[in-house]
Chains A and B, each alone.
Chain A
Amino acid sequence: MLLKPLFRLPQKMNLRFVKYFKLCLGLSIFAILGTVVLLYTVGLNFGIDFKGGTLMQIQTPGPAEVANLRTKLTSLGLGEIQLQSFGQPNEVLIRFPEQAGGPEAQKVAADKVLAELPTGSKELRREQVGSTVSQELITSAIWALVLTNLVIFAYVWFRFEWQFALGAIVSLVHDVMFTIGIFSLFQLDFDLTIVAALLTILGYSINDTVVIYDRIRENLRKYKRMPLGDLLDLSVNETMSRTIMTVGTVLMALIALYFFGGEVIRGFTFAMLFGVLVGTYSSVFIAAPFLILIGVKRDWSGVEKGKAKGGQPQAKSAKSTPSPVAANAGSLQPLAEGDSEMDDAVPHSIGFSASIPLGEMETPAAPLPPAAPRKPAGQRPPKKGKGQARAGGGRSKRRG
Chain B
Amino acid sequence: MVGFTLHFSRWGALVTIFISLASIVFTLPNIIPISTYESLPAWAQLPRMPLGLDLRGGTHLLYQIDTAQLRKDWLQSIQTESRHALSEEKIAHSGVVIAGNAVRITLRDPDKMQAALTRLKTLAQPLSASLLTGSRSGSGMDLSVQGENGVITIEPTPAGMQNRVENAITRSIEVIRRRVDPTGTTEATIQAQGGANGKDRILIQVPGLAPEEVKARVGTTAKLTFQLVDLSMSAEDAEASGVPPDDMLLPDAEHPGRKILLHKEVIVSGDDLVNAYAGYDNRAGGVGERAVDFEFNSKGAAAFARVTRENIGKPFAIVLDNKVISAPVIRSEIPGGRGQITGNFSQEEVSRLALLLRSGALPAALSIIEERSVGPSLGADSIESGKTAAIVGFAAVSALMIAGYGLFGLFSIFALVVNIAIIMACLSLFHATLTLPGIAGMVLTMGVAVDANVLIYERIREEMKGGRGIVSSIEAGFDRAYGTIIDSHLTALLAALILYAFGSGTVRGFAVTLSFGIVSSLFTAITVTRLMVSTWLRQTRPTVLEI
A interface, CB within 8 angstroms of B = 2-9, 11, 57, 59, 102-103, 122-130, 132-133, 136-137, 140-141, 143-144, 147-148, 151-152, 155-156, 159, 192-193, 195-196, 199-200, 202-204, 206-208, 210-211, 214-215, 238-239, 241-242, 245-246, 248-257, 259-262, 264-265, 268-269, 272, 307, 310, 312-316, 349, 354-355, 358
Task: Tell me the B111-170 residues at the A interface (CB within 8 Å).
Answer: none
> A245-B458, A249-B446, A313-B468 known; 10 other A-B pairs, CB under 8 Å?
A3-B402, A11-B465, A125-B373, A125-B375, A129-B371, A206-B492, A249-B448, A261-B386, A261-B443, A315-B467
Could you list some 23 contacts between A and B, CB below 8 A?
A: A2-B407, A7-B403, A8-B404, A125-B375, A127-B371, A127-B373, A132-B64, A133-B62, A133-B370, A136-B195, A151-B498, A193-B437, A200-B499, A210-B487, A210-B488, A241-B461, A248-B404, A252-B393, A253-B448, A310-B479, A313-B466, A313-B468, A354-B467
A265 touches B461 (CB 8 A): no
A315 touches B465 (CB 8 A): yes
Which residues of chain B come closer than 8 Å to A147, judged between CB atoms?
498, 502
B373 touches A126 (CB 8 A): yes
Which residues of chain B come closer than 8 Å to A349, judged between CB atoms?
466-467
Task: Tell me the B463-487 residues at the A interface (CB within 8 Å).
Answer: 463, 465-468, 476, 479-480, 483-484, 487
Partner pick for B503 among A125, A196, A249, A313, CB 8 A cutoff: A196
Which residues of chain B come closer than 8 Å to A11, judged between CB atoms?
461-462, 465
Task: Tell me the B403-435 residues at the A interface (CB within 8 Å).
Answer: 403-407, 409-410
Which residues of chain B come closer than 8 Å to A122, judged between CB atoms?
375, 377
Q: With A3-B406, A207-B488 known to touch, is A130 a contact of B369 (CB < 8 Å)? A: yes
B476 touches A265 (CB 8 A): no
Q: Is B401 an interface residue (CB 8 A)?
A: yes
Please report the C-alpha to C-alpha distance between residue A310 and residue B463 in the assembled complex, in whole angstroms: 12
Which residues of chain A come closer than 8 Å to B385, judged between CB atoms?
260-262
B511 touches A252 (CB 8 A): no
B440 touches A203 (CB 8 A): no
Which residues of chain A come closer than 8 Å to B437, judged between CB atoms?
193, 196, 265, 268
Please report the C-alpha to C-alpha distance between residue A152 and residue B489 in the assembled complex, in whole angstroms: 12
Please report the C-alpha to C-alpha distance between residue A252 and residue B413 in the assembled complex, in whole angstroms: 14
A4 touches B406 (CB 8 A): yes
Measured CB to CB, the closest approach of chain A to B485, in angstroms, equals 9
B371 touches A6 (CB 8 A): no
Which residues of chain A come closer than 8 Å to B463, judged between CB atoms?
312-313
The residue of chain B having its C-beta at the shortest distance from the C-beta of A314 within the complex is: B466
Which residues of chain B come closer than 8 Å to A124, judged between CB atoms?
374-375, 377-378
Which residues of chain A come closer than 8 Å to B354, judged between CB atoms?
none
Q: Is B455 an interface residue (CB 8 A)?
A: yes
Q: Is B400 an interface residue (CB 8 A)?
A: yes
Please report the C-alpha to C-alpha distance between residue A4 and residue B480 in the assembled complex, in whole angstroms: 24
Measured CB to CB, the closest approach of chain A to B24, in angstroms, equals 21
B454 touches A246 (CB 8 A): yes
Measured CB to CB, the closest approach of chain A to B396, in angstroms, equals 4
B495 touches A202 (CB 8 A): yes
Of listed B368, B370, B501, residue having the most chain A CB within 10 A: B370
The residue of chain A having its C-beta at the shortest distance from the C-beta of B492 within the complex is: A203
A126 touches B372 (CB 8 A): yes
Q: Is B397 an interface residue (CB 8 A)?
A: yes
Q: Is B40 an interface residue (CB 8 A)?
A: no
Which residues of chain B come closer than 8 Å to A128, judged between CB atoms?
368, 370-372
Measured CB to CB, the closest approach of chain B to A235, in angstroms, equals 12
Measured CB to CB, the closest approach of chain A to B496, in angstroms, equals 6
Please report the C-alpha to C-alpha distance between residue A221 and residue B454 in the assembled complex, in whole angstroms: 24
Q: Is B389 an interface residue (CB 8 A)?
A: yes
The residue of chain A having its C-beta at the shortest distance from the C-beta of B503 within the complex is: A196
Q: 1/0 per position for B204-233, CB-CB distance to A under 8 A?
A: 000000010000000000000000000000
Please report the C-alpha to C-alpha distance between residue A106 and residue B447 in the assembled complex, in whole angstroms: 42
Please report the C-alpha to C-alpha distance between residue A312 and residue B547 in the assembled complex, in whole angstroms: 19
Which residues of chain B come closer than 8 Å to A6, judged between CB atoms?
402-404, 406
Partner pick for B397 among A196, A249, A265, CB 8 A cutoff: A249
Please report the C-alpha to C-alpha distance between residue A307 and residue B483 in the assembled complex, in whole angstroms: 9
Which residues of chain A come closer than 8 Å to B506, judged between CB atoms?
193
Measured CB to CB, the closest approach of chain A to B255, in angstroms, equals 23
B195 touches A254 (CB 8 A): no
The residue of chain B having its C-beta at the shortest distance from the C-beta of A103 within the complex is: B368
A129 touches B370 (CB 8 A): yes
B465 touches A3 (CB 8 A): no
Q: Is B388 an interface residue (CB 8 A)?
A: yes
The residue of chain A having its C-beta at the shortest distance from the C-beta of B455 within the complex is: A242
Which residues of chain A come closer than 8 Å to B388, judged between CB atoms?
260-261
Q: With A126-B372, A126-B373 known to touch, is A354 a contact of B502 (CB < 8 Å)? A: no
Please report the C-alpha to C-alpha distance between residue A314 and residue B476 in the assembled complex, in whole angstroms: 12
| Closest 4 pairs (CB-CB, A-B) | A253-B447, A262-B385, A203-B495, A313-B466
Of listed A211, A269, A272, A355, residue having the most chain B CB within 10 A: A211
